[in-house]
């Protein structure tokens, strides 16, 4: 884990950060449907898992700009930006109807990421422990799939004033609409480090990255 400390006096969101971390402490979230038709077809043709392919694309998008990699050090009250953030994904156990966390390191190399994610998911299937370990995983973001439902909205609530800056991303079951497969995705970010543009930009980048990914 490596990071740089952000100088708040020269931070380009200085005024916004102060307002939404002191006066109006809140988060902002947005749900939209993205077109995953080409990624679903690619995954089937390649014999790979759509879930891991999307997880890779999501991780690549969130590592593409500093605004999505912010953190806060409580001990020193410093605003920081991590060099890289990694996805915390989940394995669902049908027998207990519970989840186990899977800490998967993001790697730019797709094949390396895919194999690592697959192996760690298989290991998680052998336990029924939740596996939460925040102390050793400060630069991990939450990536959670809800495959049982193609939902219209979803809200993740955190206590007022809680300066938690890691993205929280959920996605649901895709469904066919007008011949295309559309999947609901929800992105939550702390308003102190992100506004509507930055949240909406995640969806734009996901579509662009999906297009690039399937053309390789």
pTM of the entire predicted model? 0.97
Residue 160 near residue 170, CB atoms below 8 Å: no
177 forms beta bridges with 180
Q: Would you list the DSSP string of 78-103?
A: EEEEES--EEEEEEEETTTTEEEEEE
Residue 175 near residue 150, CB atoms below 8 Å: yes
Residue 139 near residue 1, CB atoms below 8 Å: yes
Residues 6+ positions from 80 with CB-CB distance below 8 Å:
3, 4, 5, 6, 70, 71, 72, 73
Residues 6+ positions from 46 with CB-CB distance below 8 Å:
none
Please choose, from the candidates 35, 13, 1, 9, the residue with its C-alpha nearest in 3D space to the C-alpha of residue 189: 13
What is the per-residue pLDDT for 161?
A: 63
**Per-residue pLDDT in tens (0 to 9) along the chain, 216 residues:** 799 999 999 999 999 999 999 999 889 999 999 999 999 999 999 999 999 999 999 999 999 999 999 999 989 999 999 999 999 999 999 999 999 999 999 999 999 999 999 999 999 999 999 999 999 999 999 999 999 999 999 988 777 667 899 999 999 999 999 999 999 999 999 999 999 999 999 999 999 999 999 998
- Nearest-5° angle of CA 93, CA 99, CA 102? 110
- Provide the 3-class DSSP secondary structure of residue 20: helix
What is the per-residue pLDDT for 160?
A: 63
> For the chain, what is the radius of gyration of the CA atoms?
18
């Amino acid at each position: 884990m490596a990071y740089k400390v952000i100088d708040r006096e020269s931070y380009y969101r200085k005024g916004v950060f102060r307002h939404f971390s002191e006066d109006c402490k809140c988060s902002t979230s947005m749900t939209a449907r993205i077109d995953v038709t080409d990624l679903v077809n690619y995954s089937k043709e390649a014999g790979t898992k759509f879930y891991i392919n999307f997880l890779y694309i999501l991780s690549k998008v969130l590592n593409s700009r500093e605004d999505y990699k912010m953190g806060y050090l409580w001990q020193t009250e410093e605003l920081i930006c991590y060099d890289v953030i990694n996805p915390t994904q989940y394995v669902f156990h049908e027998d207990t109807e519970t989840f186990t966390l899977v800490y998967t390191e993001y790697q730019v190399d797709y094949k390396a990421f895919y194999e690592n994610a697959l192996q760690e998911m298989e290991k998680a299937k052998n336990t029924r422990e939740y596996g939460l370990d925040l102390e050793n995983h400060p630069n991990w973001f939450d990536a959670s799939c809800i495959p049982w439902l193609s939902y219209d909205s979803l809200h993740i609530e955190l206590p007022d004033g809680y300066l938690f800056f890691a993205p929280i991303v959920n996605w649901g079951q895709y469904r066919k609409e007008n011949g295309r497969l559309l999947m609901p995705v929800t992105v939550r970010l702390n308003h102190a480090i992100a506004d509507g543009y930055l949240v909406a930009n995640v969806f734009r980048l996901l579509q662009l990255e999906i297009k690039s990914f399937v053309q390789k």
